[in-house]
Amino acid sequence: MTADNAPPVISSAPGENAAPPAPLGLLTLGLTTILLGLGKSGLVAIDNQVLAFAIFYAGLFQVIVGISEHKRQKSFGAIAFTSLGLFWLSLLALTIFPALGWGGEPKAANMVAYLTMWGLFAAILFLATFRLNRVLQGVFGSLMAFFLLLAMAASSGNPVFTLFAGYAGMICGSLALYAGVAQRLNERAGRTVAPLGTWKGATRPADRPL
C-alpha cells in the first residue's frame, strides 16, 4: 500500500470515545445520599451494610468516576465526584478509626467544623451549577442544605435538625438519580428525552453530561 492510499490516522484525546462517567457518578451520589438520608430520618438503621455500601460504592467508586472525569478534562465532575468520594471515606474513617483504637471519638465542635466546611464546599459546587442546568442546581443546593443541617444537629444536639437533614439527603439523592438517568437517556437518544431544565445563562446544553 502506497502512502497515498494509506488509511487516514484518526487521533483522539484519551477517553474521548468512552461513555461519559458523569451519569454513573450521579447515580452513585443519588443512591448513597438517599440511603444516608433514610438513616438520618430514622427510617432505616445505619449498620454494616450501609457502611460497606458507602465504602465501596460511594467512596472508592466515586473517586474512580472523578479521575475518569479528570481524564476527559471535565473539571466540574472531576472536582465534585473525587471530593465527595473522599468525603464518604473520611466520614467512615471517623467511625472506624476509634473502634480500632486509632484515636478517640471526634468532639462535637470538630464535627461541626468538619460538616460546615463540607457545606461550604457544596455551596461552591452549587454556584458552579448555575452554568449547567436546573436539576444539578437542585442536587447541589440540597446537598449544601444536607451538610449544614447535619452541622447544626451536631452543634445543638437537636434531633429536628437531623430529621430535616435526612429529608434534604433524600431530596438530593432523588434529584441526582434523575439527573444521572436523564443525562444517559438524552445522550443515547441524541435529543432531550428527560428535561434537565435549561438556564438562560448556561454555557453548555442542559442535556449534556458534566
pLDDT tens for 134-155 read 999 999 999 999 999 999 999 9
Residue at 104 is within a domain: yes
Q: Is 198 helix (H, G, I), strand (E, B) or coil?
A: strand
Spatial neighbors of 135 by CB under 8 A, at least 6 apart, are 175, 178, 179, 182, 196, 197
- Do residues 201 and 130 touch, judged by C-beta distance below 8 A? yes
Residue at 138 is within a domain: yes
Q: What value does the CA radius of gyration of the chain take, rounded to a whole number of Å?
A: 20
Q: Provide the pLDDT confidence category of residue 175 given band limits of 50, 70 and 90.
A: very high
Task: For residues 92 and 109, give the distance between their C-alpha atoms in angstroms, rounded to a whole number.
Answer: 18
- Do residues 175 and 31 touch, judged by C-beta distance below 8 A? no
Residue at 66 is within a domain: yes
Rounded to an integer, the average pLDDT of 26-34 is: 92
Q: Provide the pLDDT confidence category of residue 62 given band limits of 50, 70 and 90.
A: very high
Spatial neighbors of 51 by CB under 8 A, at least 6 apart, are 92, 95, 96
Residue at 100 is within a domain: yes
Residue at 52 is within a domain: yes
Q: Provide the pLDDT confidence category of residue 8 given band limits of 50, 70 and 90.
A: very low
Grid coordinates representing 193? 428525552
Residue at 204 is within a domain: no
Rounded to an integer, the average pLDDT of 184-195 is: 85
Residue at 17 is within a domain: no
Rounded to an integer, the average pLDDT of 59-81 is: 92
- Do residues 142 and 172 touch, judged by C-beta distance below 8 A? yes
More confident residue, 91 or 149: 149
Q: In terms of residue numbers, what domain contains 78? A: 22-189
- The 10 Å Cβ neighbour count of residue 121 is 19
Structurally, the chain folds into a number of domains equal to 1
Residue at 198 is within a domain: no
Question: Could you read off the pLDDT of 99-121 as tens digits, one per residue?
Answer: 888 877 888 899 999 999 999 99
Considering 24-28, 138-142, 181-185, the range whose residues carry the highest mean pLDDT is 138-142
So what's the pLDDT on residue 10? 36
